[in-house]
Chain A
């Protein structure tokens, strides 16, 4: 039955191949082929999950080796998969939420003439992400890792005729490549140190490695994670990635791509457990990003970009938790799954709003939409309550546990991290309430579109609302289900290990403070955006607001530090290559040319015969020298 594991990947991969090579004759049915491929993969995932459930804990992980991929000397890379408790969680999330997004896209992309290709790319995305989480070694993981990068490139830039979309796609790929350098070097270092980059062998040999070596590997893996998971300092691509169609944003932010970094760190727990310095770097990145994303989320008027800031922030929570080590791994993954539900729901909801509002994304032009989009309002609202951690909903359980874990780190570090996470919770409540109020409440601030018509907001078709409803149910129930008898913790502990840590505060106290923070965030937001009308034109705002609108100047910084010096260097080298290197050569040849110019004039510039005679001369030279020597 383990042969189902390769089929998990094969189904969407075959779907992608069929859709991309099938040509126009599949235009009418292509989207359903895409949905089917995703659904089949989900079904396989469920079968594998229940099989795993039926086995005793010690036998839950299974390996399948397909073939020897690269074999040169001691370098042995296999096309081999490993399905364990951690990867099955990802499999179900990727294929489950992924399938829902596929279904939604049937409606959302109904009027796009390139819909077939869109579904091909979506299938490719799933296949790559599944390969990433199922690989049994880092090199094969790398294939999935970059496959995800490719799929995101194709999807972010799906509307390639828009300059902004093409630029955003390129940016995402290149920023991710910077992270890939980290993954590449990490694999090389593993090979140099252990002679292997297969998970089981690396983890078995890790305890023999020096702390410095493990820290280096850990930091390199963190660099890779920062790229895929949009963590500071490689976060700049995420906001621009909103250029893709909205279902793509849902896919990138919930089921695939940005979760890859969290997976990588959690998967490598055997390394990070032994490298506290690397873990410290991980928590710092997580803490900084969770505030960074939250601040950016507060300032954006574009509903998708506000949600993107939120994703960055929520992934920051997960990275923070993963950096805490065994105290946090499980909760990082738990938050990842619950976040998968509510963030997918929120993005699909945002797509539904845009669908009804002539593709307008500026929330200052929304207002009062709850009556016109009742289903969207309800599902988006449940997602909203889940993400801010409203008691009883999914986010409440997962985020609360991360905050507790942060305190449980102990010492000054624990206090700093815990308080950061609490501030983040308050800010999350603030910006999410802001989104809710600006979109669904207050007065209409609708603006006429290009043709001078006011939008006529209408609820999306069933094929779009159904996935939203399913995701809303997940947003409500998942967290609670996971915490019954600590089911989720117990499930993952064999892979990641788990310890409670020693928190200076009791669990109840932390929960209480978290709720207070949340209420405070909602309250402030209500005072600003609920009590008085939202201005259609954004106020000038403080320096921080202005900076936050520009993503805290990330692009300005990158430009100043990298792009401008890089362009200058390139321009200088182009000049040098033509004038410098070639100049020397041409100078020499001009001298020779001067001498031979008379000869050449005689020969009427027949360069060909000139060359022939030169070659002939060479042959004569050969012959002569040889003869001379043999005499």
Chain B
């Protein structure tokens, strides 16, 4: 038994403690130390995540590098970890994004960065400010640790605890740290956003908790009293654990509700624009690119794996909600006046695609959805972090306050455009691969829904290009003139994301090789096979006949 998975989760957790516990001081050097410490731990986590991906063998069993330590034996609860292909790519995504988010947020928790919710400066002014910096970076690491546990846990209870626990650091991140141009009104908005985020997700979590307990009770009554995911799915597959149909539906809904709030699925989405709009760009990325993925990941692993019949039963309804979300989110994005809220609504549209791919229950749909989680993470991080750089230069989030930026800051405008093109899934970039797979995977089983969802690509072009046009083109506005172009640190954030967007668009094979076997296993769990072509050609997989 290796300790790799535990270590991967533990590194950022330890990092959070260390960063928070560093001696506070008033000097810039101290601030630099705390930030560098946090960044160091996140890079270490990235290295470990890369080792996980390298040691994972796509041909092997679904869960690999497994570890288990007993915890609450009476209930069959244990610290069980295991990684499958889907988890592996999401662990990688998280580990890649967190250091970049830190680097992008380098000055976001600086002394001049506005007030916290409490808004009480310390007597000497600077002492608390430095604590702020440490707190911000420690909280990011705490979120990372909890997200990693959620992706790697193979114990239902363990998953649940961390699924819920990550709300706490996120709540403080949203409520405590906002854009640099924060006034009292903005602090109030931020506080509202944080509470809304918390209440929504807590409510979802409570419903799920009830379902988790209910599920345990049913399982225990059939002598399967465990929270171990692999044991449970095996028991379901072997017919040793049989859940009555109506109970299965109720339990499914309990789980699904929590995940659909987090994902978020229309109409449970309204907390996201507030949370992403009011928090810093870095926090917004953490929410939409990383944390929300736990929701869609859990749908794929827990809803489908534990409740296959109910999943199939509810799939058409969920697909309709997902398609509504795709178009609704996109239309709302078109109508936004605030850059960050626009990106938030675009994300809602994208989550519609992800959820649609999962519940279409085809290999293209689910592999596409998993890739979509990764690619959306990369492209949204790129767009949102650049938007953050833009906003910090002008001190405003309103689209109307910008204009002609490309003339004064061409690199910022150019990279922003690439982020936008990734967001609208331009072929050749990574998001296209996942979006097309989701669409084709849906179309083969539900042609009408596939066609309606495809209309989303026009709306995506609209909201991205309108945003670009209004902020970057046209005559240079007075408020924008003199705006500096990207600094080296900012370029260091954007460059890897752009490189990944292009590389995974041209050659997504490393990811699909990881993901495909896990998706195939999920489809076996739900007893679904891909629809066969009507007039199959004698296809040689992967090859060209001729």
Contact = CB atoms under 8 A, between A and B. Distances in A.
Interface stretch (B281-289, B312-320, B526-534): B526-534
B74 A76 contact: no
B217 A72 contact: no
Contacts of A426: none
Contacts, number: 233
A611 B541 CA distance: 54
B437 A70 contact: yes
A201 B540 CA distance: 11
A614 B209 CA distance: 14
Interface string A168-188: 001001100110110011011
B536 A615 contact: no
A569 B332 CA distance: 9
Contacts of B199: 589
Given A150-B426, A626-B75, A73 B465 contact: no
B195 interface: yes
B421 interface: yes
A74 B465 CA distance: 34
B466 interface: yes
Contact of B544 (A65, A180, A566): A65
Contacts of B202: 611, 614-615, 618
Interface stretch (A202-210, A348-356, A384-392, A430-438): A202-210
Nearest to A167: B469
Contacts of A581: 267, 270
A208 B542 CA distance: 23
Interface residues of A, number: 83
A614 B334 CA distance: 37
Contacts of B209: 618, 621-622
A146 interface: yes
B205 A618 contact: yes
Contact of B362 (A68, A73, A147, A178): A73
B17 interface: no
A582 B426 CA distance: 33
Interface in B214-266: 216-217, 220
A80 B544 contact: yes
A571 interface: yes
A566 to B, nearest CB: 8
A136 interface: yes
Given A150-B421, A614-B202, A205 B537 contact: yes
B29 interface: no
Interface in B190-212: 191, 194-195, 198-199, 202, 205-206, 209
Interface string A189-201: 1011111101011
A601 to B, nearest CB: 16
B106 interface: no
Contacts of A451: none
Interface string B434-462: 00110110011001001100110110011
A157 interface: yes
B425 to A, nearest CB: 9
A630 B76 CA distance: 12
Contact of B334 (A67, A189, A570, A607): A570
Contact of A181 (B444, B454, B532): B454
A1 interface: no
B537 A201 contact: yes
Interface string B128-158: 0000000000000000000000000000000
Tier of interface size on chain B: 35 or more
B328 A573 contact: yes
Nearest to B468: A170
Nearest to B529: A73
B335 A191 contact: no
A581 B466 CA distance: 26
Given A195-B537, A573-B331, A161 B475 contact: yes
A581 B324 CA distance: 14
Contacts of B367: 72-73
A611 B171 contact: yes
Contacts of B476: 161
Contacts of A566: 334
A189 to B, nearest CB: 8
Contact of A630 (B74, B364, B544): B74
Interface stretch (A43-51, A137-145, A402-410, A440-448): A137-145
A412 B213 CA distance: 75
Interface string B415-437: 00000010000111000110011
Contact of B440 (A65, A191, A626): A191
Interface in B50-64: none
Interface string A596-625: 000000000001100110110010011001
Nearest to A191: B440
B74 to A, nearest CB: 6
B544 A136 contact: yes
A28 interface: no
Contact of B206 (A69, A187, A618): A618
Contacts of A608: 117, 171-172, 175
A388 to B, nearest CB: 38
A467 B117 CA distance: 67
A316 B404 CA distance: 37
A573 B335 contact: yes
B530 A73 contact: yes
A598 B223 CA distance: 47
Contacts of A561: none
A582 B270 contact: yes
B512 interface: yes
Nearest to B225: A630
A485 interface: no
B473 interface: yes
A68 B509 contact: yes
Given A65-B544, A201-B539, A170 B531 contact: no
A622 B75 CA distance: 12
B368 interface: yes
A111 interface: no
B291 interface: no
A213 B534 CA distance: 11
A574 B335 contact: yes
B537 A188 contact: no
Given A194-B533, A200-B546, A615-B164, A72 B516 contact: yes
Contacts of B532: 195
* Interface-centre pick from B216, B270, B462 (highest chain A CB count, 10 A): B270
A75 B535 contact: no
A502 interface: no
Given A163-B475, A582-B270, A607 B537 contact: no
Nearest to B516: A72
A539 to B, nearest CB: 34
B533 A577 contact: no
Nearest to A165: B473
A343 B485 CA distance: 40
A607 B439 contact: no
Interface string B466-490: 1011001111100000000000000
Contact of A191 (B454, B533, B544): B533
24 contacts: A71-B512, A72-B367, A73-B516, A74-B541, A79-B506, A143-B427, A163-B473, A165-B473, A166-B474, A170-B468, A177-B457, A184-B439, A185-B454, A187-B440, A188-B447, A188-B454, A191-B440, A192-B443, A195-B537, A201-B545, A202-B537, A581-B267, A615-B164, A618-B164
Given A191-B443, A200-B544, A608-B117, 6 more contacts: A70-B437, A73-B520, A177-B461, A193-B534, A196-B537, A581-B267
Interface of A: 63, 65, 67-76, 78-80, 136, 139, 142-143, 145-147, 150, 153, 157, 160-163, 165-167, 170, 173-174, 177-178, 180-181, 184-185, 187-189, 191-196, 198, 200-202, 204-205, 208-209, 213, 566, 569-571, 573-574, 577, 581-582, 585, 589, 607-608, 611-612, 614-615, 618, 621-622, 625-626, 629-630
Q: Which 7 A-B pairs have the closest CB atoms?
A: A195-B533, A73-B363, A166-B473, A570-B335, A160-B473, A188-B443, A143-B427
